Chains A and B, each alone.
Chain A
Amino acid sequence: MSKRTLPRLLQTPAVLLLLMWMLIPLGMTLYFSFIRYVLNSLRRPEWTTPSLSNWRGLGNYEYVLFNAKDFWFAVQNSVFIVVSILIATVILGLALAMLVNRSFPGRGIVRVLLISPFFVMPAVNAVLWINMILDPVLGLNGLAVEGINAVVKSLHNFPVLGSFFSMWPEIVPVSFRATQTSAYAVIMMVTWQWTPFAILIFMTSLQSEDEQQKEAAILDGASAWSRFRNLTIPHLARPIAIVVMIQSIFHLSLYAEIEIVSRGNGNKNLPYLIGEFTSNNIGAASATGIFAVILANIVALFLLRMVGKSLMD
């Protein structure tokens, strides 16, 4: 056996497994996206079995792009949800990483508390938030609003100020089960879960920041803000890019949260739309799937390039 064969042999199982995992299902999706394929059809029973004789060419893509009413909404909503989460997690993550980067009593515990949400399984996260926290009647949301209303009401009888408070309207709790608000609920719960991830990464790279350079800047009389802008932010540019890309890939395929929070209320993203199509129109589901792959790949390309650069050093 030559010197080269064995190492190759050792990586073969991994490569083969991943190759199968990628090529077979994706190949099938690609194939289904070009044929007419539905699960139930009384009128055209021949469409219920995948076959080349049902060739539709780009018809499924055309249908999804121009006729399926929810496609563009789903794309728009996917992007809206991802971008909102990104903005919130990066800003919160930066602020909190800076805050925890200094030493103070109980720092270890603070870190543990901040990290914890990341390990909560998505299904529990969604069930917990939508029911126990955001529910307008039984959740903390409802209870808090009720409490505020009660306080305001009790102030009505206050001399002088009472007439001011009685002009206040009674607040109504926001329901997070409508189309638009349930997107906000998803953004909130995912931000809660993924801010720890941003904190961890920013903290790791803050620790490798050049302290001497910072001290020199302090001696030169640079303000805290200009130190942050001119030293810390450039140092964090790369970690920020990585956080943005990795999160984009994860959140573009967000599913459990959407499914639990907004089943049937119209709030959907691409994975959810694919799930809906899959209940009957496989051709459309596959075409939508290919669009989702393209969308994810746009982000993935940049990420891979960045990771590749740091790979061998």
Chain B
Amino acid sequence: MATVAQESKFSKAFWPILAWVIALIFFFPIFWMIFTSFKTDADAVKPEFLFTFTPTLENYLNMTENYDYWRFAINSVITSSFATIFALVVGVPAAYAMAFNPSRHTKDILLWMLSTKMLPAAAVLYPMTFLTKNFLDIYDTHFLIILVLCLINLPIVIWMLFTYFKEIPKEIIEAGKMDGVSTWGEIKDILIPLAWGGVASTALLCFIFCWNEAYWTVRLTTTEAATLSKLIEGNRAPEGLFFGRLSAVSTAAVGPIIVLGWFCQKQLVRGLTFGAVK
């Protein structure tokens, strides 16, 4: 750090304390949700039990009865995982081709892909419902949700992979070509091992976005393929009497993702700014 900067004792103590206080305020709603999930529904709305109460696991144990939590959670896991896998299967070859064999149009293609992400979902709500319900008959199926989640995240996946692949020296890939390695071999044996960190964090981020998606998963499902977003959205009513159980199911829905998110906070910048901020 700067050696010339001479800080007073006051500012040395003040700024870190301020940072801690603000960080705790930011985390407070999440803390409060977790905290409330250990109260019974009755205790959760009584001011006298605001901070002192007998913790209970009842809300978590009854999650299946109250909300059928696991069915929605399994749907979320299935749709998010497969969407991520498909996005990588389609995205890795595309990003490979763009990074190592760019043509005149590569830049335009990449920008166009990004522009599909900027289409407001609501604008195509009815056509999507119409097509999937009346025409293709895939409304409310896992297949549909996987497909949609894959498509809305594909631009981000390709972009992220592209920025990672571009950092790999072209010569290494070229050397493989000299040795007569096939394209598939190049991707599998040279590219993926070299860019493993990048591919993994792309997958992680894609999974998180799929998990948290709340427009198509709500509008294109009813029961069969409904995810956790749909479950929570369906219980949005002012459920004053059920704060405890609502907190428990919410905690179970976001907890794993928050922890996953901590691991890829650095990659988030790349994924969300399309490499424009370094």
Q: List 25 A-B contacts (CB under 8 A).
A: A13-B94, A14-B154, A21-B151, A29-B124, A104-B16, A113-B27, A117-B30, A123-B236, A124-B33, A124-B253, A127-B235, A130-B236, A196-B26, A197-B272, A219-B4, A242-B273, A253-B122, A260-B236, A275-B219, A289-B126, A295-B120, A307-B275, A310-B275, A311-B110, A311-B275
16 additional contacts, CB 8 Å, given A123-B214, A304-B111? Answer: A6-B183, A18-B116, A24-B127, A28-B126, A109-B23, A116-B261, A120-B212, A126-B236, A130-B238, A146-B47, A242-B276, A263-B236, A289-B123, A289-B126, A292-B122, A306-B276
Asked if B268 CB lies within 8 Å of chain A CBs, one says yes
- A29-B123 contact, Cβ under 8 Å, with A121-B232, A307-B111: yes
**B-side contacts of A121, CB under 8 Å:** 211-212, 214, 228-229, 232, 253-254, 257
- A304-B124 contact, Cβ under 8 Å, with A122-B214, A197-B272, A215-B2: no
Asked if A68 CB lies within 8 Å of chain B CBs, one says no
- A300-B118 contact, Cβ under 8 Å, with A17-B90, A28-B127, A110-B23: yes
CA distance A202 to B239 in the complex (A): 38
Q: A99, B243: Cβ atoms under 8 Å?
A: no
Report the minimal beta-carbon distance from A47 to chain B, rounded to whole angstroms.
15
**B-side contacts of A218, CB under 8 Å:** 2, 4-5
B238, closest chain A residue (CB): A131
Report the minimal beta-carbon distance from B176 to chain A, rounded to whole angstroms.
14
Secondary structure dominating the interface of A: helix
Residues of A within 8 A of B (CB): 3-4, 6-8, 10-11, 13-15, 17-18, 21-22, 24-26, 28-29, 32, 96, 99-100, 102-107, 109-124, 126-133, 135, 137-138, 140, 143, 146-147, 177, 192, 195-197, 200-201, 204-205, 208, 211, 214-215, 218-219, 238-239, 242, 246, 249, 252-253, 255-256, 259-260, 263, 270-272, 274-275, 278, 282, 285-286, 289-290, 292-293, 295-297, 299-300, 303-304, 306-308, 310-312
Out of A11, A17, A124, A278, name the residue touching B232 (CB < 8 Å).
A124
Q: A255, B214: Cβ atoms under 8 Å?
A: yes
CA distance A38 to B274 in the complex (A): 40
Secondary structure dominating the interface of B: helix
CA distance A11 to B113 in the complex (A): 11
With most chain B CB atoms within 10 A of its CB, the pick from A18, A124, A130, A143 is A124
CA distance A22 to B154 in the complex (A): 12
Asked if B178 CB lies within 8 Å of chain A CBs, one says no
- A116-B243 contact, Cβ under 8 Å, with A28-B127, A256-B215, A274-B123: no
Q: A253, B240: Cβ atoms under 8 Å?
A: no
Question: 4 closest pairs, A vs B, by CB?
Answer: A289-B123, A119-B261, A271-B122, A25-B124
Q: A25, B128: Cβ atoms under 8 Å?
A: yes
Out of B2, B23, B232, name the residue touching A211 (CB < 8 Å).
B2
Q: A131, B243: Cβ atoms under 8 Å?
A: yes
CA distance A197 to B268 in the complex (A): 8
- A104-B19 contact, Cβ under 8 Å, with A10-B94, A32-B127: yes
Q: A104, B240: Cβ atoms under 8 Å?
A: no
With most chain A CB atoms within 10 A of its CB, the pick from B120, B121, B268 is B120
CA distance A40 to B36 in the complex (A): 45
CA distance A3 to B183 in the complex (A): 11
Q: A208, B278: Cβ atoms under 8 Å?
A: yes
Residues of B within 8 A of A (CB): 1-5, 15-16, 18-20, 22-24, 26-27, 29-30, 32-33, 36, 45, 47, 50, 90-91, 93-94, 96-98, 100-101, 103, 107, 109-111, 113-131, 151, 154-155, 158, 183, 208, 211-212, 214-215, 218-219, 228-229, 232-233, 235-236, 238-240, 243, 246-247, 250, 253-254, 257-258, 260-262, 265, 268-269, 272-278
Q: A135, B273: Cβ atoms under 8 Å?
A: no
A290, closest chain B residue (CB): B123
CA distance A25 to B5 in the complex (A): 58
